[in-house]
Structure 1
């Protein structure tokens, strides 16, 4: 008897497939297994080999993407062939694939959780900066996470962090070629974002974001020695802040955490600007006249010279540490400790005293070329870099959720960060004459700094009678530095604002004298008090300072 012909069963039960017999595929038991009294079972369904081979391997399949309302067409242009006939158009299926297929750079990355696009090697730049913070900042892992980890959670903070990361790489290696595309891309996106906000009526939240990006761009251009562009950014920032304040009369920067953060970032920006400008000008003056009578220098040579100065400086690592702590100035609000604490200015004051000593060396060290030798000593000693880092470090500690052991003792010298750093900049400009090449700041910049200083002095005056002798001396030091700064600017332009502020500062000086319960304090005694904080031995404006003091105690405003 001939065997019945049966087609191969691909989906039959295991027993029928082994016996190569036809299975009727009844479930749970087929007819054949029931007749033979066998246990019927089926294998798990799987794709045929032909279909499995047609599947894309891992990494080959384009991630899914939602269709956009106006997809980019990728039709090839119609071209005439040699015989005059048009080229055959793609078939409908091919056109649909081309219409919706996204470029590889725009495909959705399931591991990309960052709030902004990361073009070029932006992720590598962010990784470099994260490693640099761990290496140069001296922070604990928890503090590093509070610094960089919190900064990457919002679009503006992340973009600022990436721009600052480029600055760190330049100062660390002397070149930007490795991350140039990513660095310039984020700078350009920052400028476009600011321009978009400026064309609209901003709310308070947008105002703070816009100011943060402008301040970051200002510091960045200054650090790479594009001072003209940095000046434009700083002038634009001041104009925008004044315009916003005028449009909202009830708005006050000092009443909010965001406002205090912005004031601090603004103060940092103009202090860095004035310091680096002076450093570059002093380096240019160090070029011997015999080799270059006009002392002209091209940008590349200047950049190389500045980088060599950074690498040869005693406190080179301090500069890199300071840049590593920049994100503390634009952290999201939820990552900031509230309220702000006063800072211990002991470290900042010690570094400022080192700058004063380096300044006095200009008048003590005889050399064949005294100018060159003294300028070399001031900047290569690393004292300005130590001062720069101490200010940023004090800010980071004041907003950190982690307690600072250095402020727990009784020997701490406390002050507000903003007030001290404004006074510090004025001291370096108007007393020592080494900031901003000894020239007074531009009037809008100077005005805002004086208003911040006056508010700080008025706030601390309330409890001044309960403070110790050293804290009272610090209060007078900030006050008189501000008075001297007004006189420095008023020599060239006698403005009513400066005159009114000078009169109010003179009244505060008399209040300080009343607290000391003395009938009168001469300039000689006042100078001793100022020297207990920091004051140059070789003070070139001694007579001007004496006249200001005498006018203040006599009430001759």
Structure 2
């Protein structure tokens, strides 16, 4: 199992990258006090003659390590980190992009890039995201490749230092750094490496929970940011993974129709990072407003890393735009009988618009402003701005107010476990699922039928109750399917061996998977009792008022009905 940590010897420190591809590394030793190795997949992105600065420091007097140490300091430079290799130009490009399209806040003090310049870790991560933005926008890192890889290496060094002195207090910072590396790899086509980052992050969080079971459970802004960044990152990686497979299958199907000798790709055949990146650039052009919306989202993505502009708690928001995005995705999945690869659904851009909406809602929830930018292609036209309705007496929004983490967590579970459209159909890592399910529980426990009683954030309307049921039932489905899958595999997981620090199984407030599933089933059961809805047909109608597939396959329909039946039997 890949783990994060340092080798406590004079050898090269263990990094997230060489955990994944330890057999594809070049060992390096030199005068630098810390050498971080880069995967060969990264080296291919460097221009000829620019590999050596990241491999060796002892034979090249002009190496990056020596330049970074020997470069003269700028007395007028107030930035908290070194900015070599056109880093300032890269930051300026990123800053100007947002303002040229008017997709950032009118209040400059709340622009995530303005906030980033005061935090060394946020600024470095922002530069990595800026490099991805430039790569997607132009098709190549080009003049900024050295700056990009310099800051990537420095981020890996930061992670190694944090892991070497790991503590619950530093866990939040470490999570953000690893999520950025994970996001970076996925955007450059290194999906397998991105998944290894996620695996290592789960192991790291398990280790932190042994020291402090409440790690990441705080209500402070930093913990909230870290939990949100994990949610959006894992969803992005799983979407990229499925999008890539759908694109390959569709391309192979088109080739097969023109050539009888063409062979369909094997599910085990993963494209190289370079091939994956080429395909990304292809679908950016094919997908409806795909590139434009992705570039907009990347410009706002540093808001997950930067200090919150507002000292107050994050605001709830109207879930209507997210639910509409899920309805568009669901409508595409309902057409899988005529498009078994699912590529058409991705090409229509619904998942991309959903991603943009979530990124914008995140930034808005911490803002003092009441405006968000709609993704291009959504109702209302591109680049329009809408005013968030925060009037508690307005039934158009109050009925569907939600926390960002709650709706994002359920969205990921719905797309994976109900629509089977993300992560290539592979099961979720139970450790990841546990954390996602806990985010849903944090959201639903404050609503009617929750353990803490009613909340003023939601009325007793039918639509509000339907949304609450949808969140609880989707989570119960995800947990039940995951448990069944690993039971069939007879693999030892935290289903069969709950982690001691997560809570004792069956404990009322246990944080282990069996306890979470039991509480979710109990919530659905209480909803059924209070509403008088007993049959699956009536329950499905309530779910459909939120979002639900109209044409589930026979097997899936039996699974959903089976979960409902278990809930009902448990209450008798």
Does residue 180 (structure 1) correspond to residue 145 (structure 2)? The answer is yes
Does residue 504 (structure 1) correspond to residue 519 (structure 2)? The answer is yes
Which of the numbers 186, 189, 195 marks the counterpart of 1:231?
195
Which of the numbers 303, 315, 318 marks the counterpart of 1:328?
303
> Contact 2:244–2:279 at 8 Å: present in 1 too?
no
Deviations 1:488-524 (A, max 9, x none): 21222242554433322221112212332x2x42111
Which of the numbers 391, 404, 425 marks the counterpart of 2:358?
391
Give the Å deviation of 1:550: 2.1
Does residue 549 (structure 1) correspond to residue 549 (structure 2)? The answer is no
Match of 1:5 in 2: none
> Contact 1:486–1:502 at 8 Å: present in 2 too?
yes
Match of 2:278 in 1: 304
Instruction: Determine the C-alpha separation between the residues in 2 that align with 1:104 and 1:543.
Output: 64
Does residue 371 (structure 1) correspond to residue 340 (structure 2)? The answer is yes
Instruction: Determine the C-alpha separation between the residues in 2 that align with 1:171 and 1:254.
Output: 36
> Contact 2:112–2:303 at 8 Å: present in 1 too?
yes
Instruction: Determine the C-alpha separation between the residues in 2 that align with 1:303 and 1:250.
Output: 39
In the alignment of these two chains, the number of paired residues is 445
Instruction: Determine the C-alpha separation between the residues in 2 that align with 1:314 and 1:381.
Output: 5
Q: What is the SS of the residue equivalent to 1:371?
A: coil
Does residue 169 (structure 1) correspond to residue 169 (structure 2)? The answer is no
Which of the numbers 203, 222, 229 marks the counterpart of 1:265?
229
Match of 1:197 in 2: 162
> Contact 2:104–2:111 at 8 Å: present in 1 too?
no
Instruction: Determine the C-alpha separation between the residues in 1 that align with 2:276 and 2:216.
Output: 41
Does residue 515 (structure 1) correspond to residue 505 (structure 2)? The answer is no
Change (3 A) 1:110 1:315: same
Does residue 485 (structure 1) correspond to residue 478 (structure 2)? The answer is yes
Give the Å deviation of 1:104: 11
Match of 1:463 in 2: 454
Instruction: Determine the C-alpha separation between the residues in 2 that align with 1:531 and 1:200.
Output: 49
Give the Å deviation of 1:451: 1.7
After superposition, the CA RMSD in angstroms is: 2.2
Does residue 254 (structure 1) correspond to residue 245 (structure 2)? The answer is no
Does residue 414 (structure 1) correspond to residue 401 (structure 2)? The answer is yes
Which of the numbers 530, 541, 553 marks the counterpart of 1:528?
541
Deviations 1:328-385 (A, max 9, x none): 111124x23411111221111111111111111223x4xxxx435xx33111101010
Instruction: Determine the C-alpha separation between the residues in 2 that align with 1:386 and 1:440.
Output: 25
Change (3 A) 1:536 1:136: farther
Moved more, 102-111 or 427-436: 102-111
Give the Å deviation of 1:293: 4.5
> Contact 1:136–1:320 at 8 Å: present in 2 too?
no
> Contact 1:168–1:320 at 8 Å: present in 2 too?
yes
Instruction: Determine the C-alpha separation between the residues in 2 that align with 1:528 and 1:406.
Output: 29
Deviations 1:532-555 (A, max 9, x none): 111111112111111211221231
Instruction: Determine the C-alpha separation between the residues in 2 that align with 1:299 and 1:223.
Output: 10
Using the size of structure 2 for normalisation, the TM-score is: 0.74
Using the size of structure 1 for normalisation, the TM-score is: 0.76
Moved more, 401-410 or 268-277: 401-410
> Contact 2:216–2:227 at 8 Å: present in 1 too?
no
Change (3 A) 1:144 1:537: farther
Structure number with greater Rg is 1
Give the Å deviation of 1:240: 1.9
Instruction: Determine the C-alpha separation between the residues in 1 that align with 2:466 and 2:158.
Output: 45
Deviations 1:219-263 (A, max 9, x none): 111111111221121122222222222212454523322111111
Give the Å deviation of 1:311: 1.8
Match of 1:91 in 2: none
Which of the numbers 119, 124, 129 marks the counterpart of 1:159?
124
Instruction: Determine the C-alpha separation between the residues in 2 that align with 1:434 and 1:218.
Output: 21
Instruction: Determine the C-alpha separation between the residues in 2 that align with 1:224 and 1:451.
Output: 30
Change (3 A) 1:180 1:103: closer
Task: Give runs of aligned pairs for residues 353-364 of structure 1, distance below 5 A.
Answer: 353-363=327-337
Q: What is the SS of the residue equivalent to 2:288?
A: coil
Task: Give runs of aligned pairs for residues 423-438 of structure 1, distance below 5 A.
Answer: 423-438=410-425
Q: What is the SS of the residue equivalent to 1:255?
A: coil
Instruction: Determine the C-alpha separation between the residues in 2 that align with 1:509 and 1:131.
Output: 49
> Contact 1:137–1:325 at 8 Å: present in 2 too?
no
Change (3 A) 1:116 1:444: same
